[in-house]
Structure 1
Amino acid sequence: MRAVLTWRDKAEQCVYDLAFKPDGTQLILAAGNRLLVYDTSDGTLLQPLKGHKDTVYCVAYAKDGKRFASGSADKSVIIWTSKLEGILKYTHNDSIQCVSYNPVTHQLASCSSSDFGLWSPEQKSVSKHKSSSKITCCSWTNDGQYLALGMFNGVISIRNKNGEEKVKIERPGGSLSPVWSICWNPSREEHNDILAVADWGQKLSFYQLSGKQIGKDRSLNFDPCCISYFTKGEYILLGGSDKQVSLFTKDGVRLGTVGEQNSWVWTCKVKPDSNYVVVGCQDGTISFYQLIFSTVHGLYKDRYAYRDSMTDVIVQHLITEQKVRIKCKELVKKIAIYKNRLAIQLPEKILIYELYSDDSLDMRYRVKEKIVRKFECNLLVVCADHIILCQEKRLQCLSFSGVKEREWQMESLIRYIKVIGGPPGREGLLVGLKNGQILKIFVDSLFAIVLLKQATAVRCLDMSASRNKLAVVDENDTCLVYDIHTKELLFQEPNANSVAWNTQCEDMLCFSGGGYLNIKASTFPVHQQKLQGFVVGYNGSRIFCLHAFSMSAVEVPQSAPMYQYLDRKMFREAYQIACLGVTDTDWRELAMEALEGLEFETAKKAFTRVQDLRYLELINSIEERKKRGETNNDLFLADVFSYQGKFHEAAKLYKRSGHENLALDMYTDLRMFEYAKDFLGSGDPKETKMLITKQADWARNTNEPKAAVEMYISAGEHGKAIAISGDHGWVDTLIDIARKLDKAEREPLLMCAHYFKKLDNPGYAAETYLKIGDLKSLVQLHVETQRWDEAFALGEKHPEFKDDIYVPYAQWLAESDRFEEAQKAFHKAGRQGEAVRVLEQLTHNAVVESRFNDAAYYYWMLSMQCLDIAQDPAQKDVMLGKFHHFQHLAELYHGYHAIQRYTEEPFSFHLPETLFNISRFLLHSLTKDTPLGISKVGSCRRPRGSRDLHPAFAASFVQVSRV
């Protein structure tokens, strides 16, 4: 921390108090019997305010910025507006010692030697409360609920808004330790309200709202006159009889001096929300300082250590974002970190910490060594077993026990130092000097090695991962890169304030400056992106940047440098860059470019990253072909282009490599038939037919059947054309095809006939069967379509098809209940067995249905068929026997028909005499078995009207009935 004087002024009289306007634009000073209003930006006195008749002791501004108040030895309090106009005045019985505005309600507390008053704009009068001692100071809590009063007798009284005492704190020294200044911590992050108390017992102490003391008293060794917190409560300002303002932590640890004065400091305040401090002194001096808090930090790879709250060290793992806090309770002056070592310099000692384990993620540190000595140094570096102190032109190497082992004296001021690694106890240091000299020093060697010398001073430097290149930022903000071995300047870039090489890639570095982050790969142009801060490290795709007081790890895609390598066909280098971190799209682009460049190894790795199995299969197939001896790169590249969809380029390469057939196959598979025609051989009919066929296949698959049929016909694929036409019911197309086909092309013609039958066009089917001479199929067609006349005509001409015609015809007749015709048809077809079976079935049905006359007829027909069969000598005897049997049955059923009708129906057309004679015939014929359906009882019944018969007939009938 250092203080820079911004402006200074001298008032004629002592400055007892001051207050900032909440927006920080104006400063109100209590000097003599006047108030002085200053512009804080340049220290211009804007206006003196008169109103008090005696010395002004105190001043306070309301938090809303509308009013401020002043208290004087003339026992009065004046309320002023922000326009510097006095609007109200009230008095106490004694001189006013301090005033303070409530931060919430803007209630004003004014304190005198004997009492204190509470005034608010809503009240007409001031409520006053007696005090047991002189009140020297006061302060409201952040929530405005309580007011702390510091008194001359060493007592602190905490009152509520109504003035009632809630807590009383007595300092150990009593009246010998007057409480001269108090202030509540304004931080909202604290769990409790904390009151800082400065008394003239030369002590600084802290209390909770409950009155409980926090920690122990801290000795000041001077009489404090003023105490003030920073806006966020992280620091405390104290001034007094030591004629200076000191900076303390919020816990009371002294950090340093803000500014030394020539007389007592009566007041000091911090400008709201800033690091500006104003100091008012006994001799009337007003000093305005800017406090600059320097960053104390150290970085090694992914571990970053930095100072926090001036007395703590936080170690942050930049990858996991884990943090660990090390509380030192003293001002941290320097920090150094290296591998598992951490060195912290305090005012009177140096602490060396080590990690508990070798785990790269371990964040637990323990004290390894303490060097209890006071050191003055500009830079501090830690190694495995040593610490290095930089003192202007000199470097000292100390062991962890504090013993000086080596010392190096330089020609010029040391501007930069960095550990670049090495075995424990033999690490190398990179040192940059103001005269432009860059050296390498080994911890175990007395001699410094000069790497190179440039004309300008060194500000920052770094060495590449392989120790072959050196990057330097000089005082002109230029980044210069050298080859360490040849000392040659490789390139230089402007607008740089810091530089870092990538620890994982030899040819990549980044530098910052001008609000931009610059990434440079090899000698390619710089890639820029906006970024505030300083680059301090570059690991893989992460760039570590320090901005203000915070370190951040920025994930930077390495796409730009990767594409720079790709543009120059440097595929292996591009792959190395991609491994640092690029998007999937970039990986795919790298894979494609490498594949087109026939760099199959790189392409395979890149496609593996994006898990593209299709291209991996292509690469494997090409590698297998190369193993078999193929060396035609044009052919390999053509395959690559075809996979990428660059079909025209692929076709050109196929043609150039003498494989036009592959181009033809490619275009054909893609259904790009117009392009495929360009690669047909010179009138080769096979290739032409193949192309047209595939084109037709494509038309069929794309639901263009008409076009497909035409193409199939032109390609001679009549079967496929017929199938499509038949499936779509295109009869006209089918008959055109059938009529154009030669009768020798039997298969397609049969397909046509099949579809004609299916589409119910038997005429076209018959025409087709006739064309190929397939009479059997024609007969089947006539039979299936029941076109019997055409079938009979064909059967007359071709008797061999007689069975094929009459058997189905007979079956059809039978199914149509035309059994007699069916029987004749079977007979005509020579199917005697079938004919007999039909007649037997007809006869049986007639008997069951009591149609005895029909049964008689069928038996007669059976007898006649048996007689026809009897002409065969082999069956003559059997058939003649059946003939007589069937003749007998025919007679029986014919006679019984009249009897059955007589018994069932009310009227009969036969004379009784006729019925009688029929009955006699039946009775004499039924001497053996009675045929199915004939009843003897029915045959012997006496006819109705038998009384009219001749007596002889009637007697005979009675006799027959008895029998």
Structure 2
Amino acid sequence: MYQYLEQKMFKEAYQIACLGVTDSDWRDLATEALEGLDFETAKKAFIRIRDLRYLELISSIEERKKRGENDNEMFLADVYAFQGKFREAAKLYKRSGHEPAMKKAVNMYADLCMFEHCAGVTDPKVSLKLITKQADWAKSSEEPRTAAEMYLSAGEHMKAIDIIGEHGWADMLIGVARKLDKAERELLAKCAVYFKKLGHHGYASETYSKMGDLKAFLQLHVETSHWEEAISLVKEHPQFNYDVYFPLALWFAENSHFDEAQEAFNKAGLHNEAVKVLKQLTHNAMVENRFNDAAYYYWKLSMQCLDIARDQRKEMLQKFESFQHLAELYYVYRSIQLYTDEPFSSHMPETLFNICRFLLNNLTKDVPPGISKVNTLFALAKQSRKLGAYKLARYAYEKLQELHLPSRFRESVELGSLTIHFKPFQDSKELIEDMMCYRCSTNNPLLQSSVCINCRQPFIYSASSYEVLPLVQFYLEEGISDEEALSLIDLEVPHTDEGHAQGHTTDRGEEDPFTATMSFEQGGSTFVPVKVSRSALRSMSRRDVLIKRWPKPLKWEYFRSLLPDVSITMCPSCFKMFHSEDYELLVLQHTRCPYCRRPIDGHNGSTLQQSRFSEFPSLS
């Protein structure tokens, strides 16, 4: 049999073997026949020894031959590879020169992790696949850095990024991100995700910036609580207001910064949530007797309603008026509460006297929660007596005796009620003169509504001393727009100081057109507002006019100063008016408006005098 095998006579060798040989001889015969490409004889011999592995190989080769394959070198290479003769198989694969054969060689060495043998057999077309295989092997062999580098060489960036990110190699990952093209958004986004996990927010920002993904960039700042950067970006891109200000509002609320939370809700467009926060803050302030805060929150509520009024006009405007009224009541009551509860007061007696009268004049039957009528009347009685308003003091003591008094007030009220009868039943003339109406020159009672008893013109009060300011509100005639009114009011002062000193006359001795508009029918019970024409507007001096530029749907309000020498300042935010000296002092103390808390920087103190009646087009 072996002699026939030496002569490659496989069929004759098979016939001899059938006479009786060992399994080892059968295997030799089968192997020689297989390598000689005599698949029929090899198949019979392997059947004899029941070697299923080789039988499957032969079967696959026969199938390929049926499909038209006839490359015997490829068949032999497969046989060598099956036998473990890898070098010989590789040579045959290479000799064939076909791409499928080259791939087989690469796959063979890759499966065996014998990558050093691939240099001689691989083709440039399949080199990347070989490197990928080698990277897979390095990964499975727990050599992640090598695997990542090989994946990068093979262009398998996603696999490389996953390995680098999972092992926390941020410096290596940013190197990859910087080399990627900005159009490869998926890969860059993956890098950014790993940077966020690793806490390298600077690298994540750089990556998102390269991608041009502004929303993800903002989200990164939000997730890392870098609020200043997020707000700076959203100012340039307001379409992302909600994405920044809503989480900012929640963050403020979680950290007990409720004022800021309310503002953030508002900027996020969540007006209902902003109103809820404000209402809760207002309620808490009233319960805790923080009336200054309650006033501030009511003012903010009113401005919130004014903003919403553009959509829900009637209901919101009513709420605006109500909240504005409550804000002023709580604002003035704080001074009274401090006077009655604290041993010392920072207010002059005249100021407390004016504040008490203002509050009583504006209180209705339904007294707002937290405001004590007893405290107000007690403070009024004390200050009235001190300033010589004995008639008003007697009235206050009489009203106090009708109310339930706290024990700490009873003795003082009883004593005051007795001793006040030894005083004249009249008020100081100086105090009565302070309540003169600047429209009709009528002296008004110290305690009555906030309008003149003669002409019904509303009084305008200073928001610090609550003295009556020398201002008269006027309205534009039909057909005159706000813009036209502004253009008609002179930018330069048309009157001389001598003219003002004489009263309401012009430089030529003519009567001031505005004075004529203030006339009214004596004895009338209805209020006749002052309406000015174009000629009256044209005659006005810019420094004598104050304008409350309310946002729509409210109308602008115009005021004329009748005593130009009295310096008045109006806050450009809340439109409250002050004596300029008082306002300057309050701003120096608190660096903000005392009413609406609008911040005012150090430079504004020197320009307050300039902004008294000006600010066309802005009141800031």
**TM, length-normalised to structure 2:** 0.51
Q: Which has the higher strand share?
A: 1
In structure 2, the partner of 1:769 is: 208
In structure 1, the partner of 2:320 is: 883
In structure 1, the partner of 2:281 is: 842
Closer/same/farther in 2, CA of residues 922 and 784 from structure 1, 3 Å limit: farther
In structure 1, the partner of 2:232 is: 793
Would you say the 8 A contact 1:663–1:679 is kept in 2?
A: yes
Aligned equivalents of 1:843, 1:810: Cα separation in 2: 18
Aligned equivalents of 1:523, 1:880: Cα separation in 2: 115
Residue 566 of structure 1: CA displacement?
A: 11
- Aligned counterpart for 1:572 among listed residues 3, 11, 14: 14
Residue identity (%): 57
Aligned equivalents of 2:46, 2:334: Cα separation in 1: 101
Would you say the 8 A contact 1:855–1:890 is kept in 2?
A: yes
1:271-320 CA-to-partner distances (Å, cap 9, x unmatched) read xxxxxxxxxxxxxxxxxxxxxxxxxxxxxxxxxxxxxxxxxxxxxxxxxx
- Aligned counterpart for 1:746 among listed residues 185, 201, 204: 185
In structure 2, the partner of 1:717 is: 156
Residue 716 of structure 1: CA displacement?
A: 2.8
Closer/same/farther in 2, CA of residues 657 and 899 from structure 1, 3 Å limit: same
Give the residue type in structure 2 aligned to 1:763. G
Aligned equivalents of 2:78, 2:37: Cα separation in 1: 11
Aligned equivalents of 1:925, 1:650: Cα separation in 2: 107
- Aligned counterpart for 1:815 among listed residues 248, 254, 261: 254
Give the residue type in structure 1 aligned to 2:222. V
Would you say the 8 A contact 1:896–1:934 is kept in 2?
A: yes
Would you say the 8 A contact 1:896–1:922 is kept in 2?
A: no
In structure 2, the partner of 1:667 is: 109
Aligned equivalents of 1:610, 1:844: Cα separation in 2: 97
- Aligned counterpart for 1:858 among listed residues 282, 297, 300: 297
In structure 1, the partner of 2:142 is: 703
Closer/same/farther in 2, CA of residues 922 and 855 from structure 1, 3 Å limit: farther
- Aligned counterpart for 2:406 among listed residues 943, 947, 960: 943
Give the residue type in structure 1 aligned to 2:322. H
Aligned equivalents of 1:936, 1:608: Cα separation in 2: 116
Residue 862 of structure 1: CA displacement?
A: 0.8
Superposition map of 1:546-945 within 5 A: 572-573=14-15, 576=18, 582=23, 592-601=31-40, 603-604=42-43, 613-659=52-98, 660-661=101-102, 662-681=104-123, 684=124, 686-844=125-283, 854-870=293-309, 872=310, 874-887=311-324, 890=327, 925=364, 927=366, 941-945=404-408
Closer/same/farther in 2, CA of residues 910 and 563 from structure 1, 3 Å limit: farther
Give the residue type in structure 1 aligned to 2:317. L
Closer/same/farther in 2, CA of residues 673 and 947 from structure 1, 3 Å limit: closer
Could you say what the CA RMSD is over the residues aligned between the two structures, in angstroms?
A: 4.7
Closer/same/farther in 2, CA of residues 792 and 946 from structure 1, 3 Å limit: closer
Aligned equivalents of 2:344, 2:324: Cα separation in 1: 23
Superposition map of 1:18-33 within 5 A: none
Aligned equivalents of 2:344, 2:183: Cα separation in 1: 72
Give the residue type in structure 2 aligned to 1:863. S
Q: Which is further off, 644-653 or 656-665?
A: 656-665
Give the residue type in structure 1 aligned to 2:250. Q
Residue 824 of structure 1: CA displacement?
A: 1.8
Aligned equivalents of 2:63, 2:255: Cα separation in 1: 75
Closer/same/farther in 2, CA of residues 523 and 738 from structure 1, 3 Å limit: closer
Give the residue type in structure 2 aligned to 1:943. P
Closer/same/farther in 2, CA of residues 782 and 702 from structure 1, 3 Å limit: same
Q: Secondary structure at the match of 2:181?
A: coil
Give the residue type in structure 1 aligned to 2:163. I
In structure 1, the partner of 2:427 is: none
Give the residue type in structure 2 aligned to 1:877. K
Give the residue type in structure 2 aligned to 1:665. N
Aligned equivalents of 1:937, 1:705: Cα separation in 2: 81
Q: Secondary structure at the match of 2:120?
A: helix
Residue 881 of structure 1: CA displacement?
A: 0.9
Closer/same/farther in 2, CA of residues 593 and 712 from structure 1, 3 Å limit: same
Would you say the 8 A contact 2:43–2:55 is kept in 1?
A: yes
Aligned equivalents of 2:364, 2:84: Cα separation in 1: 102
Aligned equivalents of 1:844, 1:616: Cα separation in 2: 91
Superposition map of 1:77-476 within 5 A: none
1:236-290 CA-to-partner distances (Å, cap 9, x unmatched) read xxxxxxxxxxxxxxxxxxxxxxxxxxxxxxxxxxxxxxxxxxxxxxxxxxxxxxx
Aligned equivalents of 1:837, 1:954: Cα separation in 2: 46
Aligned equivalents of 1:668, 1:577: Cα separation in 2: 45
Closer/same/farther in 2, CA of residues 824 and 645 from structure 1, 3 Å limit: same
Aligned equivalents of 1:888, 1:953: Cα separation in 2: 32
Closer/same/farther in 2, CA of residues 613 and 822 from structure 1, 3 Å limit: farther
Would you say the 8 A contact 1:946–1:954 is kept in 2?
A: no
1:174-220 CA-to-partner distances (Å, cap 9, x unmatched) read xxxxxxxxxxxxxxxxxxxxxxxxxxxxxxxxxxxxxxxxxxxxxxx
Give the residue type in structure 2 aligned to 1:808. P
Closer/same/farther in 2, CA of residues 796 and 738 from structure 1, 3 Å limit: same
Residue 815 of structure 1: CA displacement?
A: 1.9
Aligned equivalents of 2:97, 2:307: Cα separation in 1: 85
Would you say the 8 A contact 1:731–1:756 is kept in 2?
A: yes
Would you say the 8 A contact 1:810–1:823 is kept in 2?
A: yes
Aligned equivalents of 1:591, 1:847: Cα separation in 2: 104
1:539-572 CA-to-partner distances (Å, cap 9, x unmatched) read xxxxxxxxxxxxxxxxxxxxxxx99999988663
Residue 821 of structure 1: CA displacement?
A: 0.9
Residue 837 of structure 1: CA displacement?
A: 3.1
Give the residue type in structure 2 aligned to 1:674. E
Residue 943 of structure 1: CA displacement?
A: 0.8
Would you say the 8 A contact 1:947–1:954 is kept in 2?
A: no
May I ask how many residue pairs the two structures share in their alignment? 380
Closer/same/farther in 2, CA of residues 947 and 830 from structure 1, 3 Å limit: closer
Q: Secondary structure at the match of 1:677?
A: coil
1:18-64 CA-to-partner distances (Å, cap 9, x unmatched) read xxxxxxxxxxxxxxxxxxxxxxxxxxxxxxxxxxxxxxxxxxxxxxx
Aligned equivalents of 2:88, 2:144: Cα separation in 1: 32
Aligned equivalents of 2:333, 2:316: Cα separation in 1: 25
Q: Which runs of 5+ in 1 are unaligned?
A: 1-521, 525-561, 956-963
In structure 2, the partner of 1:452 is: none
Give the residue type in structure 2 aligned to 1:812. W
**TM, length-normalised to structure 1:** 0.34
Q: Which has the higher helix share?
A: 2
In structure 1, the partner of 2:453 is: none
Residue 639 of structure 1: CA displacement?
A: 1.2
Q: Secondary structure at the match of 1:813?
A: helix
In structure 2, the partner of 1:385 is: none
Would you say the 8 A contact 1:607–1:615 is kept in 2?
A: yes
Closer/same/farther in 2, CA of residues 846 and 601 from structure 1, 3 Å limit: farther
Q: Secondary structure at the match of 2:137?
A: helix
Closer/same/farther in 2, CA of residues 741 and 952 from structure 1, 3 Å limit: same
Aligned equivalents of 1:601, 1:695: Cα separation in 2: 38
Closer/same/farther in 2, CA of residues 883 and 620 from structure 1, 3 Å limit: same
Would you say the 8 A contact 2:10–2:41 is kept in 1?
A: no
